[in-house]
């Protein structure tokens, strides 16, 4: 969660006395070139949607540090410059335990040798379910802020974790390695398959960067600036795509 100290998000973290800020890197894995990370001067962001070959987009910009930004549709931009997911929690973050899972450990500090971010959106019958803050952070301490809940501390940090309810998965590892969405759900101790997403049941349709993924959702790699969407039932929602250049990630 290291962000440049000049950014509004870092100021917010300082106010909350969260872990120190620093610049975050962008990496490539498995022959896939990752999008480069760009810092903005404030906590601003946008989400664009595309479906059936037709793209639509909406943008909301924060009013400044310590304030939330809402569009006419009620979208709130979180401290990472990404819209918070408005919906019931997909599952509690507290199911995360302490012992290593899939070779992923929980350390006293965040590991930043390999540091990238991916986004996850989950829909059931057209309804968005929010990924909670604190997944992968046992004993998470949640601060309620004007920019939504933020977790900055806990008993330890798994290399795959979340800090707020914007769907951003932080991949912060002591070595470069391709982790998967299955690894993240295993750290969370929540089921994931072609028919189950946490407590949701039904045929799971998976999209990666707006394209259909025909393998198990567990196999989706968590690469830099990856947009991952899981859908169950009808109606099919628009594909959510993050404008990463407008974020702090």
Query: Could you report the per-residue pLDDT of 102-147, keeping only the tens digit for each?
Result: 999 999 999 999 999 999 999 999 999 999 999 999 999 999 999 9
| Residues pairing with 144 in the sheet | 149
Query: With 70 as the cut, is the pLDDT of residue 24 above it?
Result: no
Environment class of 70 (CB within 10 Å of its CB; exposed 0-12, middle 13-18, buried 19+)? middle
**For residue 113, is it within any domain?**
yes
**For residue 225, is it within any domain?**
yes
**For residue 166, is it within any domain?**
yes
Q: How many domains does the chain have?
A: 1
pTM: 0.75
Q: What is the pLDDT of residues 162-210, one digit of tens each?
A: 999 999 999 999 999 999 999 999 999 999 999 999 999 999 999 999 9
Q: Per-residue confidence at 51, pLDDT binned at 50, 70, 90?
A: very low
**For residue 1, is it within any domain?**
no
Report the SS3 class of residue 93.
Answer: helix
Q: Show Cβ contacts of residue 53 under 8 Å, excluding neighbours closer than 6 positions.
A: none
Listed in sequence order, the DSSP H helices in the chain are 8-15, 181-188
Structural domain for 238, as ranges: 8-246
Among all chains, which residue has been given the structure tokens 């045929």? 203
Query: With 80 as the cut, is the pLDDT of residue 222 above it?
Result: yes
**For residue 187, is it within any domain?**
yes
**For residue 111, is it within any domain?**
yes
């Amino acid at each position: 969660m290291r962000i440049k100290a000049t950014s509004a998000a870092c100021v917010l973290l300082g106010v909350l006395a969260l872990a120190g800020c620093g610049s975050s890197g962008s990496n490539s894995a498995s022959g896939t070139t990752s999008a480069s990370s760009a810092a903005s001067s404030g906590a601003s962001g946008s989400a664009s949607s595309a479906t059936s070959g037709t793209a639509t987009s909406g943008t909301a910009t924060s009013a400044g540090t310590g304030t939330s930004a809402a569009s006419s549709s009620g979208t709130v931009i979180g401290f990472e410059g990404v819209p918070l997911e408005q919906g019931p929690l997909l599952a509690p973050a507290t199911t995360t335990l302490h012992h290593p899972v899939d070779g992923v450990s929980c350390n006293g500090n965040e590991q930043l040798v390999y540091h990238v971010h991916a986004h996850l959106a989950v829909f059931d019958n057209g309804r968005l379910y929010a990924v909670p803050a604190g997944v992968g952070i046992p004993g998470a301490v949640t601060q309620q802020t004007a920019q939504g809940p933020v977790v900055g501390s806990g008993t330890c940090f798994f290399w795959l974790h979340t800090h707020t309810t914007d769907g951003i998965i932080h991949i912060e590892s002591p070595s470069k390695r391709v982790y998967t969405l299955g690894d993240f759900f295993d750290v969370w101790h929540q089921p994931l398959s072609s028919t189950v997403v946490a407590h949701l049941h039904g045929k799971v349709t998976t999209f990666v960067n707006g394209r259909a993924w025909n393998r198990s959702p567990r196999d989706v790699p968590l690469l830099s600036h990856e947009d991952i969407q899981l859908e169950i039932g009808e109606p099919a929602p628009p594909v959510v795509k993050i404008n990463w250049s407008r974020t702090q990630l």
